[in-house]
């Protein structure tokens, strides 16, 4: 039952308001007054309800605004001012458009369905911009690193260099084309336009880093081939095994299956790891003796030649003369392009030269060691004969050896300690800054080289042999190297401080 206003019943309230003191020309309408008061109360309640609804609505739309702005934020902490600027600008534009959508929804300009569609479009653009900015950041990092380490390949073309400069210097912007695709576009320093759609990031030009030289790349392979291994000796005329087992390294010829497999397999591995960019760097950054340098235009033409099958005419007279078997090995083979063919020829030539050099060095080293052993043997025999001539017994040698092992390291300033008890009578003396080995009659036997005088171990070995008759093979000196005295130390030594 509806509650009635107390003013609808005449009584104490009406009288208290003075209604009973009025001059009444006509009956007072208590009901009208009561209805008016009820309407006022109801209106106040409705206003309070509407205010509460408006407060909640504003709160909800505020939350929607914040959520929209948050979902349209882009990371702007890449470390590159230009890329951070792109991200900040795009974030502001997206956030403004998102905020406008919420306002339109709040004011009833667009429906919830329209808001959802338009907001999804903005989120889709965010989904395009993020990977595009990440890709640009990666490119900028690669570019900056290569420049800093002097590792930027000459195979990068001028347009790509100009684009990278424009990227890191902030000469670009993010826009949206008429199809809703985000595009990074701008102009290079020389006015050339560039445009990279977000849905074509994979087609963006790649930075080309400088790869190692031919010799650096083939060295591990040729070192392995240079190791001596037991193998069947092959008769050079019949090309058949002789039945003898010998220690030999792999022959540096394409006719040798081990050499051919290792070298060409190494090139295939390089190509698998570095692809066309690696070939371009080899062509532009590294040269091989005997081959003509390649210009950028020549490299580009060969890289884009398509499938290439060389004939005998594709080999120069120099290549045929200096890379034995190259025509038989590569003519008629299918290559991905002419650049791959040209680079593999240089790879094979480098590996062949390295293997020849390694084997020559090994042969030289083995001969050197053999000659050195012969010299040492002759010295040992001569010393033995000298010792026998002086009737020095083995016991005397041991006594002398124990004695000189107790002496200080021989130097230019303490030769007396070694000369004093020399059983042979020989000694080392200084004459006008030079040092000589002399006999007991002070007759010169030999001049001592400066490098020997400066090395206590060498000097001790000479004095042990020539002063004490101890064979070189019985000595093993290991003195610390002589440290040069500074000026303060020299002063202290002079004044015995």
More confident residue, 3 or 469: 469
Kindly state the percentage of the chain with pLDDT values over 70: 65
Among 301, 282, 300, residue whose Cα is nearest residue 344: 282
What's the confidence (pLDDT) of residue 72? Answer: 43
What's the confidence (pLDDT) of residue 69? Answer: 45
> Span 277-288, mean pLDDT?
94
> Span 183-199, mean pLDDT?
84
> Span 77-95, mean pLDDT?
65
Q: What is the pLDDT of residues 168-184, one digit of tens each?
A: 887 878 777 777 787 88
Identity of the highest mean pLDDT range in 20-24, 39-43, 99-103:
99-103
Min mean pLDDT across 68-82, 246-260, 261-275, 374-388 is at 68-82
Min mean pLDDT across 106-120, 122-136, 161-175, 480-494 is at 480-494
Prediction pTM value:
0.52
Residue with tokens 């220690």: 247
What is the pLDDT confidence band of residue 71, given thresholds at 50, 70 and 90? Answer: very low
**pLDDT tops 90 at residue 341:** yes
What's the confidence (pLDDT) of residue 213? Answer: 94
**pLDDT tops 50 at residue 277:** yes
**pLDDT tops 50 at residue 354:** yes
> Span 432-461, mean pLDDT?
89
> Span 185-199, mean pLDDT?
84
**pLDDT tops 90 at residue 295:** yes
More confident residue, 10 or 399: 399
> Span 121-146, mean pLDDT?
78
What's the confidence (pLDDT) of residue 60? Answer: 47
More confident residue, 376 or 355: 355
What whole-number distance in Å separates Cα of residue 420 and Cα of residue 339?
Answer: 77
* Token reading at 98: 């998102």
**Half-sphere exposure (CA, 13 Å, Cβ side) for 82?**
18
What whole-number distance in Å separates Cα of residue 152 and Cα of residue 144?
Answer: 9
What's the confidence (pLDDT) of residue 302? Answer: 95
What's the confidence (pLDDT) of residue 241? Answer: 76
More confident residue, 392 or 346: 346
What is the pLDDT confidence band of residue 281, given thresholds at 50, 70 and 90? Answer: very high
What string of H, E and C letters represents the secondary structure of the chain? Answer: CCCCCHHHCCCHHHHHCCHHHCCCCCCCCHHHHHHHHHHHHHHHHHHHHHHHHHHHHHHHHHHHHHHHHHHCCCCCCCCCHHHHHHHHHHHHHHHHHHHHHHHHHHCCCCCHHHHHHHHHHHHHHHHHHHHHHHHHHHHHHHHHHHHHCCCECCCCCHHHHHHHHHHHCCCEEEEECCCCCEEEEEECCCCCEEEEEHHHHHHCCCCCECCCCHHHHHHHHHHHHCCCEEEEEECCCCCCEEEEEEEECCCCCCCCHHHHHHHHHHHHHHHHHHHHHHHHHHHHHCCCCCCCCCCHHHHHHHHCCCCECCCHHHCCHHHHHHCCCHHHHHCCCCECCHHHHHHHHHHHHHHHHHHHHHHHHHHHHHHHHHHHHHHHHHHHHHHHHHHHHCCCCHHHHHHHHHHHHCCCCCCCCCHHHHHCCCCCCCEEEEECCEEEEECCCCCEEEECCHHHHCCHHHHHHHHHHHHHCCCHHHCCCCCCCCCCCCHHHHHHHHCCC
Angle at 167 between CA 161 and CA 171, to 5 degrees: 110
- Mean pLDDT for the chain? 76
What is the pLDDT confidence band of residue 204, given thresholds at 50, 70 and 90? Answer: confident
What's the confidence (pLDDT) of residue 194? Answer: 85
What's the confidence (pLDDT) of residue 299? Answer: 94
What's the confidence (pLDDT) of residue 61? Answer: 46
């Amino acid at each position: 039952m509806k509650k009635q206003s107390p003013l609808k019943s005449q009584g104490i309230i009406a009288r208290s308001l003075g209604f009973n003191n009025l001059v009444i020309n006509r009956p007072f309408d208590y009901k009208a007054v009561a209805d008016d008061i009820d309407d006022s109360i109801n209106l106040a309640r409705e206003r309070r309800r509407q205010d509460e609804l408006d407060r909640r609505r504003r709160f909800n739309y505020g939350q929607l605004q914040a959520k929209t702005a948050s979902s349209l934020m882009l990371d702007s902490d890449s470390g590159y001012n230009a890329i951070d600027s792109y991200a900040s600008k795009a974030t502001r534009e997206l956030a403004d458009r998102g905020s406008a959508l919420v306002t339109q929804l709040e004011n009833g300009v667009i429906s919830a369905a329209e808001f959802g569609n338009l907001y999804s479009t903005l989120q889709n653009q965010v989904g395009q911009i993020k990977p595009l900015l990440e890709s640009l950041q990666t490119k900028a990092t690669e570019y900056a690193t290569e420049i800093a380490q002097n590792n930027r390949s000459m195979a990068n073309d001028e347009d790509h260099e100009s684009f990278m400069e424009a990227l890191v210097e902030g000469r670009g912007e993010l826009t949206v084309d008429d199809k809703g695709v985000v595009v990074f576009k701008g102009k290079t320093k020389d006015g050339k336009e560039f445009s990279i759609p977000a849905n074509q990031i994979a087609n963006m030009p790649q930075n080309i880093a400088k790869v190692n030289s031919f010799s650096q790349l083939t060295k591990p392979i040729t070192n392995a081939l240079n190791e001596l291994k037991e193998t069947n000796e092959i008769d050079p005329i019949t090309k058949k095994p002789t039945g003898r087992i010998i220690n030999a390294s792999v022959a540096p010829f394409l006719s040798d299956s081990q050499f051919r497999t290792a070298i060409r397999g190494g090139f295939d591995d390089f190509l698998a790891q570095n692809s066309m960019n690696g070939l371009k760097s080899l062509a532009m950054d590294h040269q091989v003796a005997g081959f003509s340098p390649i210009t950028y235009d020549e490299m580009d033409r060969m890289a884009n030649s398509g499938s290439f099958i060389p004939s005998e005419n594709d080999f120069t007279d120099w290549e045929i003369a200096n890379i034995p078997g190259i025509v038989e090995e590569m003519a008629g083979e299918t290559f991905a392009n002419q650049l791959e063919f040209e680079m593999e020829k240089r790879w094979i030539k480098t590996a062949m030269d390295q293997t020849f050099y390694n084997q020559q060095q090994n042969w030289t080293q083995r001969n050197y060691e053999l000659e050195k052993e012969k010299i040492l043997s002759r010295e040992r025999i001569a010393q033995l004969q000298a010792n026998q001539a002086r009737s020095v017994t083995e016991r005397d040698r041991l006594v002398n050896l124990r004695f000189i092992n107790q002496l200080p390291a021989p130097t230019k300033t303490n030769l007396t300690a070694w000369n004093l008890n020399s059983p042979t009578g020989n000694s080392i003396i200084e004459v006008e800054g030079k040092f000589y080995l002399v006999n007991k009659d002070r007759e010169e036997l030999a001049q001592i080289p400066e490098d020997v005088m400066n090395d206590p171990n060498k000097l001790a070995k000479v004095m042990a042999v020539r002063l004490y008759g101890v064979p070189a093979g019985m000595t093993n000196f290991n003195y610390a190297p002589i440290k040069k005295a500074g000026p303060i130390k020299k002063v202290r030594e002079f004044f015995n401080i």
